[in-house]
Amino acid sequence: MKKTLALILALLMVMSLAACGGETAANTPAEGGAASGDSNTLTVYAWDANFNIPALRAAEAAYQKKNPDFKLEIVEQSGSTDVENAITLAAQSNDLSTLPDIVLFQDHYIQRYVRDYPTAWTPVEGAPIDWNDFGAEKLSYSTIEGVHYGVPVDNGTAIFAYRTDILEQCGYTIDDVTGISWDRWLEIAREVKDKTGFALLSMDHSGDDLPYMMLQAEGSSQFLDGKPNFVNNDKMKKIIEIIVTGANDGTIILANSWSEYTDQTIVGNQVAGVMNGNWIIPTISLVEENSGKWAITSLPTIDGGKEGYAANGGSSLYITGNCKNVDLAKDFLAYTFGGGEGAMETYDNALRNGGVITCCISAAQSDVYQEGVAFFGGQPIYATIVEMGAHVPVVEQSDYHYNARTNVGNAITNIQNGGDLEAELQTAEDQVNFEMGN
């Protein structure tokens, strides 16, 4: 029984890491899988046999309704770094022949790779896709200088999930934690901690995404005009104060690792609240005895009085510069992930088989998405997540997103240990500037 549980935990952890752009390895790209010369076959690089690849298989089956001879050859990579390495190697050697027709690529890195290796990509302009059927934030990654380069796949919309039974013990409902200020959230969190012993939030502090999500819910960024904007960013200062206050009073657990975050705080029943990209749902759902006791809502904001929306993680599909049948690739992507006739079938089965939630707003009108989910008290969470995703604000992004995450996380640790907030943020900002070569 212990071995079975360990296997389940390992598989779901890999699924969550891949969904948020994490790595299962950082090896060289898998061999083979160059672009197909067959008029009905496309090759694609993707990672994660439990998440992205089932979504691609669902798309293949849906497109075969239109083209029975179609085949999608998926070359599994051990992580997103493998795909990035494949693009880099091919582009720097001026030999794109090793690339497949299509690659799955992380949202946070694509703009840098298109800028650095423009010949490695083929825009999807001209594909029969209604771009208005996607949230502006999701498209902001793959739209570069007004040109559409990619078709979104997985929805990274952030959720705040709460144990409704724990809230009820303190006299609260899910409505009481919706549209509130972070200061009010801290008050409720202290009461929950005092009465039940549960923290109301946790995060993997070794890769701390809280500041980014909390800022995005404000419509703000950690960057301004291409440079880190920490020390003169009043919203960021307030958010760091909230995180440090919560960490110091025990209402927020800043875990030391991903496994501590998932295994101990979430699966180990230490928290009554989880805020992250919706890919965290399978981890929450591991604790079967808590079925029916969870509900999801939006994020608090600094001033309150409105619901906060953010996203964390995600990827899109891109046609490479080596694709031999661009028209087929565009039609396949448009028909499936792009909101065409096969989108509902694609995403219904992607959700069933891999937990991939659509970015395509119209695809969420299916019965599968509208159905209540027993684990979340009958709430139709998948339709809700897609609706929330349509409201995520577009904020300035940077190729140095992860550099900022690391250095802001270090600042939070130092402030917890008595460091001055402004001085620590200045140090973090200076370090990111150094890493950017500014």
At residue 4, does pLDDT exceed 60?
no
- Can you give the pLDDT at residue 25? 32
pLDDT (tens digit, 9 = 90+) per residue, 225-258? 999 999 999 999 999 999 999 999 999 999 999 9
- Amino acid in the structure at residue 254: L
The residues spanned by each domain of the chain are: 2-156+313-365, 158-310+396-436
Mean pLDDT value of segment 409-435: 98
Would you call 320 helix, strand, or coil by DSSP? strand
Question: Which residues does residue 299 pair with via DSSP β-bridges, in sequence order?
Answer: 308
Residue at 372: amino acid letter: G
pLDDT for 284 beyond 90: yes
**24: confidence class by pLDDT, cuts 50, 70, 90:** very low
Burial classification of residue 133, based on how many CB atoms lie within 10 Å of its CB (0-12 exposed, 13-18 middle, 19 or more buried): middle
pLDDT in tens, 118-175: 999 999 999 999 999 999 999 999 999 999 999 999 999 999 999 999 999 999 999 9
Average pLDDT over residues 192-217: 97
Chain segment 27-79, per-residue pLDDT in tens: 333 445 677 667 899 999 999 998 999 999 999 999 999 999 999 999 999 99
Q: Is the pLDDT of residue 303 over 70?
A: yes
Give residue 423's pLDDT: 98
C-alpha span between 184 and 311 (Å, rounded) = 22
Print burial letters for 134-149: b (CB count within 10 Å at least 16), e (below 16): bbebbbbbbbbeeebb
Residue 166 has a pLDDT of 98
For residues 326-350, average pLDDT:
97
Q: How far apart are CA 409 and CA 394, in angstroms?
A: 23
H-assigned helices in 66-209: 80-92, 110-116, 136-142, 164-169, 182-196
% of the chain at pLDDT higher than 70: 92
> Mean pLDDT highest for which of 16-20, 152-156, 212-216?
212-216
State the pLDDT at residue 43.
Answer: 98
Q: Mean of the pLDDT values across residues 392-401?
A: 94
Q: How far is CA 169 from CA 173, 198, 270, in A?
A: 10, 11, 16
pLDDT at 50: 87
| Mean pLDDT score across all residues of the chain | 92
Answer CATH for 2-156+313-365 from 3.40.190.10, 3.30.160.270, 3.40.1160.10, 3.30.360.10 = 3.40.190.10
Residue 20: predicted pLDDT:
42
Look at residue 32 in the predicted model and tell me its pLDDT: 55
Per-residue pLDDT tens for 359-394? 999 999 999 999 999 999 999 999 999 999 999 999
SS3 16: helix
pLDDT more than 90, % of the chain: 88
Domains 2-156+313-365 and 158-310+396-436 share a fold: yes
Cβ distance 253 to 438 under 8 Å?
no
pLDDT of residue 33: 66
pLDDT at 353: 93
Q: Which CATH class is domain 158-310+396-436?
A: alpha beta
